[in-house]
Amino acid sequence: MKGLDDAQAYMLQNGIDGWLTRDYRYTNPVFWQAYGAQVENVTRPVWLLVPASGEPRLLSHDVDTGRFENPPAAITNYSNRDSMIDGLNSLLAATGSANPALAMEYSELYQLPRVGRVDAGTIELVRSLGASVVSSGDIIQFATERWSEQQLESHRFAIDRLTRIVKEAFAFAGENVRWALTEHDLAEHIRGRFDRLGLEYDDGPVVAFNEHSSDPHYEPKPGDSAVIRRDGWLLIDLWGRKKRNPGEEPEVSGEPAISADITWVAKLGGPPTERQQQVFGAVRDARDAAFDFLESEVMAGNTPQGWQVDRVARDVIGKAGFGEYFVHRLGHSLGHEVHSNGVNLDDWETHDTRRIIERVGVTIEPGIYLPEFGVRLEMDVFMGPHGPEITGERQDEIFQIDT
């Protein structure tokens, strides 16, 4: 099971009796992440208890139990609702507490949507059996989101190639701008470079020209994307991870490869306007202030919370006069999925009180989105044993594309 020892160590340190995770028809990916692999065609509710001490236990319906070949946990079967309740009581008793404190994929008042995977009725059921329920958000991060050394190397592989690809894409745009090159054409070129350089991706990239760069998640479509002109503004956001070789499992020595995610901006034709320079400078300053705050806090022996780093960057952009144009969180958890299950740098969409602990990865990506153009500068940060590390190249000047 993924992170079993880490999960148990965290619970023992924090007075939690067990981690009870539940899935129904693949609505809770955290369950399968904790289990260690996704089992196909599981059609009924399935429960997994990781006690603070002792062996994990699985509760599965009769029709599904045969799907779990060589399970890493002892299985109890149930056949109907009454026997499921009996099975849950047995799981709770395995914690050794009469009124156990259980962590579940629950977020009070839905503060952290990425954590809140379990419905209110399930929480009511577990509480009715005598347990108290707390959020599993910190356990999830501690047990499943910290990178191993091999995963860190897989991330370095990805970010080195992403940086190379984005610069090549800017050059390709300059070389082909006279031939009615569209945003979608450039996105297809980038996807081709991914394949040749050993990267895989789930979707993307964002290739956004002029006012399209004001949409943080703009996606160019064939037949409905802008022509990239000889003078204008270009934003490219691209993400991916190391591709497995043919015949290999999609993992790095049993561990999923880690994604990288970067955003750069460029000016085609003449030099950037004063307004473009002003906005770029505000975003760059916000990004750097956020990283400097994170670094200084860690060096001082503190472990800052996600919302605190967001607030630093947001204050910089607000003081520059662009606060209303910074419309998303500062950054997200980075793992095998590009948007992963750890702490987000967020005091805008949520108030993320999870701590930025050692060996997790996050993005720092402030943005300002004016009606005529947008600027986002995204870099990846790994929380190493000696402090935070920017794993790729930091864009400090607007990339100039001669046409």
Fold of the domain built from segment(s) 4-144: Creatine Amidinohydrolase; Chain A, domain 1 (3.40.350)
> Rounded to an integer, what is the distance from CA 292 to the centroid of its chain?
21
As to burial, measured by CB atoms within 10 angstroms (0-12 exposed, 13-18 middle, 19+ buried), residue 124 is exposed
Per-residue confidence (pLDDT) for residue 247, from 0 to 100: 52
Q: The domain 149-401 is classified under which CATH number: 3.40.225.10, 3.90.230.10, 3.40.50.20, 2.40.50.140?
A: 3.90.230.10
Mean pLDDT, to the nearest integer, of 76-94? 97
Judged by average pLDDT, the poorest of 130-139, 173-182, 233-242, 252-261 is 252-261
pTM passes above 0.95: no
Q: What is the pLDDT of residues 378-399, one digit of tens each?
A: 999 999 999 999 999 999 999 9
Task: Please give the average per-residue pLDDT across 212-236, as a whole number.
Answer: 96
What local confidence, expressed as pLDDT, does residue 252 receive? Answer: 47
Ranges 78-92, 143-157, 239-253, 356-370: which has the least confidence: 239-253
Please report, for the chain, the start and end positions of each structural domain, with discontinuous segments joined by +. Answer: 4-144, 149-401
The reply to whether domains 4-144 and 149-401 share a CATH topology is no
Q: What pLDDT does 36 receive?
A: 87
Q: Which residues pair with 331 in a beta bridge?
A: 345
328-337 exposure pattern, b = at least 16 Cβ within 10 A, e = fewer = bbbbbbbbbb
Q: What is the pLDDT of residues 274-298, one digit of tens each?
A: 999 999 999 999 999 999 999 999 9
Question: Phi and psi dihedrals of 208, rounded to 5?
Answer: -130, 125
**pLDDT tens per residue across span 124-177:** 999 999 999 999 999 999 999 999 999 999 999 999 999 999 999 999 999 999
Nearest to 170 by CA among 290, 98, 263, 300: 263
Instruction: Give, in order, the Cα–Cα distances in Å from 298 to each of 278, 348, 357, 359, 366.
Output: 30, 23, 10, 13, 21
Mean pLDDT of the chain: 95
Query: Residue 246 above 90 pLDDT?
Result: no
Cα 313 from chain centroid (whole Å): 19
What pLDDT, on a 0 to 100 scale, did the predictor assign at position 206?
98
